[in-house]
């Protein structure tokens, strides 16, 4: 019996999500590029974000900022499905070759921006209709920067803010602060097919 070949990707809500075994990803790795801040694969919270936006199409999505983007599949979905102009932001420049490969695989392109949460200014955020993020609140020391970024986004007039997470305590701490200050809602969410994922979304509508 021949050993099964490693899976090179998944189709999910209209986009292709490559695994580490995909030829385009392997090609990037052969160049010696290795992300250092957890940008080493596509994380499942992105599926929650995509599935939610697929079922609740945002009214304002011409310009989207995908913060802590990693390989950028959420922003890529917005570009492909919603026709959004997407800026993909990450503190680690080494994620962008992987993002570019993933975007190429899906026939779209996004604009890369190297930045931490703290350095995203109100002026920069004012350029966007929607802010999305997945798996960005995984350390205690990230709670304040993410919360403060949300505050600046609200001040900047960003219409929709959606942040997905597998329900880490740090995420719930941040979401609770946003609920108190901005009436954000935390929603349990899960997907079953073709990929199973579960967690929660912090949804903030800035009317």
DSSP 18-43: E-TTSHHHHHHHTTT---SSS-SS--
Asked if the model's pLDDT at residue 207 lies above 80, the reply is no
Tell which CATH classification among 1.10.260.40, 3.40.50.720, 3.40.50.150, 3.90.1150.10 matches the domain 43-205.
3.40.50.150
The two structure tokens encoding residue 169: 């305590």
Confidence of residue 8 (pLDDT cuts 50, 70, 90): confident
pTM: 0.92
Q: Work out the mean pLDDT of the chain and round it to a whole number.
A: 92
Buried b (16+ CB within 10 A) or exposed e, 109-134: ebebbeeebeebeeebbeebbbbbbb
Average confidence (pLDDT) over 155-180: 97
Query: Looking at residue 79, what is its pLDDT?
Result: 98
pLDDT for the residue 29: 82
- pLDDT for 39 equals 46
User: Where do the structural domains in the chain lie, given as residue ranges?
Assistant: 43-205
50-106 pLDDT tens trace:
999 999 999 999 999 999 999 999 999 999 999 999 999 999 999 999 999 999 999
Indicate if the pLDDT at residue 36 is higher than 70.
no
pLDDT for residue 19 is more than 70: yes
Q: What confidence category does residue 121 fall into, taking pLDDT thresholds of 50, 70 and 90?
A: very high
User: Residue 106 CB: number of other CB atoms within 10 A?
Assistant: 20
> Which pLDDT value is given to residue 3?
45
């Amino acid at each position: 019996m021949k050993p099964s070949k490693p899976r090179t990707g998944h189709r999910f809500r209209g986009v292709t999500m490559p695994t580490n075994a995909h030829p385009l990803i392997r090609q990037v790795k052969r160049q010696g590029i290795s992300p250092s801040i957890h940008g080493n694969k596509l994380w499942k919270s992105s599926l929650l974000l995509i599935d939610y936006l697929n079922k609740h199409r945002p009214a304002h999505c011409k310009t989207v900022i995908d913060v802590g983007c990693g390989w950028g599949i959420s922003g890529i979905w917005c570009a492909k499905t919603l026709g959004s102009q997407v800026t993909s932001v990450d503190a680690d420049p080494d994620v962008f070759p992987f993002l570019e490969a993933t975007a190429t695989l899906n026939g779209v392109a996004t604009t890369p921006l190297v930045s931490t949460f703290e350095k995203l200014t109100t002026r920069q955020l004012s350029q966007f209709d929607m802010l999305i993020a997945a798996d960005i609140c995984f350390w205690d020391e990230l709670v304040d920067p993410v919360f403060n970024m949300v505050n600046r986004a609200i001040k900047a007039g960003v219409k929709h803010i959606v942040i997905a997470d597998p329900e880490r305590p740090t995420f719930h701490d941040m979401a609770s602060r946003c609920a108190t200050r901005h009436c954000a809602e935390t929603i349990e969410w899960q997907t079953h097919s073709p990929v199973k994922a579960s967690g929660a979304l912090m949804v903030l509508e800035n009317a």
